[in-house]
Amino acid sequence: MTPTAGTLVRSTAREVEPEAVQPLPRTSPYEVAVVLLTQANRPAELERAIASVRAQVGVDLQLVLVLNGSATARPASEVRLPALGPDEELVVLPENLGIPGGRNLGASVADARLLLFLDDDAELLGPTVLATVVRRFADDPGLGAMAIRLVDEEGRTQQRHVPRVGCRSALRSGEVTHFIGAACLVRADAFAALGGFDRQFFYAMEESDLAWRLLDAGWTIWYSADLTAFHPRTAPSRHPGHVVLTARNRMWAAVRSLPWPLCVAYLLTWTVVAVLRGGPLPQILAGYRQAWSARPLRRPMRWRTVVRMTRLGRPPVL
């Protein structure tokens, strides 16, 4: 399949203008919509990701494949994507909207009760992952988001992919305060009510920002260690400018969502952590300057949310 930039391509190969993008008409929504963002630069990994979605059983499923930045990456004639089948759609974006922007667009096309955001180099492990997820969300109306345990090429879970502080077991399920975006689920109603991811972030910290807003709205976030997805072992440094972007976005999230005393403590803590991990201080400070010059409107979380996060083992200064 060769896409055309700026269009939405249905599985019927019908093309429409982006402003006309609407979910496929149905009498009731799908149970899960998988929003899969790609730039089509990892074709083998993308094929495996889609295959792992198609292998799911016992669940009413929609796939929304978002080609993010086709015109800026390379000519559309050079882009090859898997052929789509029933209940599968392709959204083609002429420019790179970033991870949060692309995922928001995919979510706006979706027509499902739950949204699964899946990286294009990730794979669901096992055919009943999503059927299990659907049952757990149905059993807990207060569940707003769920993290799936990520495993690498050796079957191990990197500590940075465990949504807990310290070296607590990656194999223990439980309530947490944030989630990892490589394979995560969000209740569609909650996602829409909060405005989705903040497109301004472009890359890094968008999941943490959304997690804080979910918690402050009263939703629960759950880490399901028994449900797994493959994701290759990677380092944040593979992304150009990751130090500046992470620092900028960390300040944006803190300024918007944290009471001022916690905002200051949070940024001081993470500045020290970033430097100890080898982050160049000038780049970190450059990110902070960018954030402050375009700081968001403040909507600080309630103190009872702070108390709740603290009881869960991660006060919003860590």
Q: Map out the domains of the chain as residue ranges.
A: 8-234, 237-300
| Predicted confidence (pLDDT) per residue in 24-44, tens digit | 455 568 999 999 999 998 999
- Global pTM value: 0.91
Gap between the Cα atoms of 126 and 223, Å rounded: 17
Long-range (24+ apart) CB contacts under 8 A made by 281-287 are 283/243, 283/244, 283/247, 284/243, 284/244, 284/247, 285/247, 286/244, 286/247, 287/243, 287/244, 287/245, 287/246, 287/247, 287/248, 287/249, 287/250, 287/251
- pLDDT for position 11: 41
Q: Which CATH architecture has domain 8-234?
A: Alpha-Beta Complex (3.90)
Residue ranges in the chain whose pLDDT is less than 50: 9-21, 23-24
Q: What are phi and psi of 169, to 5 degrees?
A: -60, 130
- pLDDT for position 165: 81
Between strands 61-68 and 30-38, the pairing is parallel
What's the gap between Cα 124 and its chain centre?
A: 15
DSSP 124: E
